[in-house]
Amino acid sequence: MGDIPESHPRRESLLSRQKLVDAASKGMLAESALIAHGRGEAFDYLLGEKTCDSARLAIMETAYRLLNSEKCVISVNGNTVALAGPQLIACAAVLGCPIEVNIYYRTPKRMEVLLSALMEQQQLALNLYPQIKNKITDVKILGGNPDGRIPNLEGPRANCHSDGILSADTILVPLEDGDRCEALIAMGKTVCVIDLNPLSRTAQMATVTIVDELTRCVPILLETLMQNSVKSLDWNNKENLENVIQEILRNFNK
Ligand code: ATP
Ligand code: MG
């Protein structure tokens, strides 16, 4: 993939696909992960492959909710680790919170591969973000020894850590599944999600939905978390999602 010219119009998309193909061959992903990515790509096309104004507002609100939480956590799955692991570790470092692997199709092998990928990415993040080096070293990577369960969810996908997802009041879950989002909301948590599909159950159910591509919005979130000027926006998630849909319609009429 090193031979894709800088000017290739689909460069970012091709690089992301390659990252996922590599992650799949390492055993980091469930079989359906590439399909999930493809569905996301289709929505990104409709959004003009850019961060829209509504997404920028949702990033600001997410930063506010995370910074003002009692206890927060970042929950990651295979696609998230493959595409934005180091950047999310940096977000966790700024927040002083853990990062927890919580996957839909949990197998011991996949968990092991993801946890060791995150540990490597933690080292990488030290080089990428030297200004927060000490905080990056302090980030706890959870998921290996779940001792709690998300109520009202069947199977291993409910497993979680009592000092991570279970006890956090605020959770950032890029690429969450609808069922689990519903279960987390039912627990009374503030759930901030990143999902390119404004119509998904996840997007509709979350407290704050960032409708943007993961690798594009996480660096903006990190920058926002590092600012002193984060403010609450009197948040109406339904209204923000409607504005995203209007944005898609405007792209059609251009
Ligand atoms: P839900 O479970 O919320 O009802 P779903 O079952 O349609 O939705 P899933 O298969 O659970 O969706 O997850 C795939 C979704 O993840 C895609 O539709 C897309 O919106 C989102 N997604 C995938 N890749 C990315 C990405 N790189 N950035 C942002 N969102 C993404
Ligand atoms: Mg789903």
pLDDT in the model for residue 1: 54
Whether the pTM exceeds 0.85: the reply is yes
Ligand at minimal distance from the CA of 176 is 1
Using most ligand atoms within 8 A of CB, pick from 202, 214, 216, 245 the residue to mutate for ligand 1. 202
Kindly tell me if the per-residue pLDDT of 201 is higher than 90.
yes
Q: Does ligand 1 lie within 6 Å of residue 39's CB atom?
A: yes
Alpha-carbon distance of 168 to 159, in angstroms, equals: 14
> Looking at the domain assignment, is residue 24 inside a domain?
no
Q: What is the total count of domains within the chain?
A: 1
pLDDT category of residue 4 using cuts at 50, 70 and 90: confident
Domain holding 108, by residue range, is: 53-252
Kindly tell me if the per-residue pLDDT of 102 is higher than 60.
yes
> Looking at the domain assignment, is residue 17 inside a domain?
no
> Looking at the domain assignment, is residue 25 inside a domain?
no
> Looking at the domain assignment, is residue 223 inside a domain?
yes
**Tens digit of each residue's pLDDT (9 = 90 or more) over 226-236:** 997 888 889 99
Q: Whose CA is nearest to atom 11 of ligand 1?
A: 177
Beta carbons of 82 and 19 less than 8 angstroms apart: yes
Kindly tell me if the per-residue pLDDT of 222 is higher than 60.
yes
pLDDT category of residue 2 using cuts at 50, 70 and 90: low
> Looking at the domain assignment, is residue 170 inside a domain?
yes
| Percent above pLDDT 90 for the chain | 89
> Looking at the domain assignment, is residue 30 inside a domain?
no
> Looking at the domain assignment, is residue 1 inside a domain?
no
> Looking at the domain assignment, is residue 117 inside a domain?
yes
Nearest to 102, CA basis, from 53, 152, 30: 30
Distance 209 CA to ligand 1 centre (A): 12
Looking at residue 189, which CATH number applies to its domain? Answer: 3.40.50.12640
